[in-house]
Amino acid sequence: MELRKDPITRSWVITGDDVPDNAPRLEPFCRFCPDSRESLQLIASLSGTPGAPWSARAVVHPNALYHIEGEPTRRGDGIYDKMRPIGAHEVLIENSTHDRPLWNASDVEIEQFLLLAAQRIQDLKGDGRFKYVSMFKDHGSSAGQEFEHPTSQMTATTFVPRRVLYELRAAREYFESKERCVFCDIISQEIKQDLRVIELRGDFIAVCPYAPRVPFESWILPRTHEAAFERFGLNRPGTMRDLGALLRRTLQRMRTITEEFHLVLHTSPNSLHRSGNLGYWKTIDEDYHWHIEIMPVLAAKAKSYTFKEVYYSPLSSETAVRRLRDAKIEP
């Protein structure tokens, strides 16, 4: 596998002919359960859940796309750029119970999982080769779910993923002209208008964005400004309980519409990596604001936006939020 840069959009893609077979396999046992006989490369383990052998764990992905050893050695290929897929690829096991997905987990379990995520991001950002650490979760076969056990994945990469790069550039430009964080401005307008707010909980807000990419797209943000999720989580660990509860409740609401979804955490890039050609580190702590994005996969409608160059959402966020707010969920 190698990383290639599209010279037009300047985004990196990982490509090659040795893509692992991601088709769901019927395995006689689960490699992530506490009684697994498979030897996993354990990276970190938390044990804050009473009565559980462990609460959340990070292991090396069994079919890692990125590998930790070596240098990316960026090279030219005529007008093109390529580099080796140096990085980290981890599986975050959300809890020790095979059939307890995030939306059915206890708030303590989700809190432990979020704290593990914060610790792993902080640790990976200690490696100056990595520009960005992503955490994501794909649930459901059309969303590309890989494992049955409740898991998320984390990658550390030598480049910033495209969507995050767009956000960073836009947030910096907004800050340059207004001297305010665009995400903070979004939050205060959403609270004032109260047209797209799903729920407020502690310091957190769940909203449907003004311009959704898919119906029922939802974001969760802290109301207190902070660019880095891991710094927020590790400095204010008590808030992770509220975040966990809001995440659980938002997923429960969404699951009354569809079972499949993508979830991604957007945090600030690695400030240890000082890139010469990108100026976005100067005001990053003031202009960027971490958040979670949840994109439901609506099977019947999937085609209509997969092939569109312009996102098409046949349901407004003002209507979507009413269905999500009224959904019957656990307290």
DSSP string, 251-276: HHHHHTT-S-EEEEEE----TTS--S
**Which of 4, 5, 82, 98 is in the footprint of Zn ion by CB under 5 A?**
98
The reply on whether position 204 binds Zn ion by CB under 5 A is: no
Collapsing DSSP to helix, strand or coil, 66 comes out as coil
CB of 59 to Zn ion, least distance (A): 12
The yes or no reply on residue 33 touching Zn ion (CB under 5 A) is yes
292 binds Zn ion (CB under 5 A): no
Minimum separation from the CB atom of position 149 to Zn ion (A): 3
Q: State how far the Cα of 255 lies from the Cα of 95, in Å rounded to an integer.
A: 20
Q: How far is the CB of 319 from Zn ion (least distance, A)?
A: 23
CB proximity list for 197: less than 8 A, separation 6 or greater: 190, 191, 205, 206, 207, 321
Contact between residue 262 and residue 298 where contact means Cβ atoms under 8 Å apart = no
Contact call for residues 49 and 55 (beta carbons, < 8 A): yes
**Residue 262 within binding range of Zn ion, rule CB under 5 A:** no
Smallest gap from Cβ 34 to Zn ion, in A, equals 8
Nearer to Zn ion, 57 or 84 (CB): 57
Closer CB to Zn ion, residue 98 or residue 255? 98
Among 5, 11, 14, 30, binds Zn ion (CB under 5 A): 30
**Two structure tokens written together for 235:** 């400095």
Binding letters toward Zn ion, positions 126-165, x by CB under 5 A: -----------------------x----------------
Closest Cα to residue 170, out of 160, 158, 183, 159? 183
Q: How far is the CB of 290 from Zn ion (least distance, A)?
A: 9
> Toward Zn ion, which CB reaches closer, 85 or 101?
101
Q: State which of residues 56, 94, 289, 317 lies at the interface with Zn ion (CB under 5 A).
A: 289
184 binds Zn ion (CB under 5 A): yes
| Per-residue DSSP letter, 71 | -
Q: Does 228 bind Zn ion (CB under 5 A)?
A: no
Q: Which residue has the tokens 């069994």?
A: 62
Q: Given the complex with Zn ion, which of 131 and 225 has the nearer CB atom?
A: 225
| CA 154 to the chain's CA centroid | 8
Half-sphere exposure of 64 (CA within 13 A, CB side): 20
- What ranges in 32-161 are assigned the alpha helix state H? 107-124
Hey, which residues between 37 and 96 contact Zn ion (CB under 5 A)? none
Q: Is 22 exposed, middle or buried (0-12, 13-18, 19+ CB in 10 A)?
A: exposed
Residue 158 vs 218, nearer CB to Zn ion: 218
Given the rule CB under 5 A, which residues bind Zn ion? 30, 32-33, 98, 149, 181, 183-184, 225, 266, 289
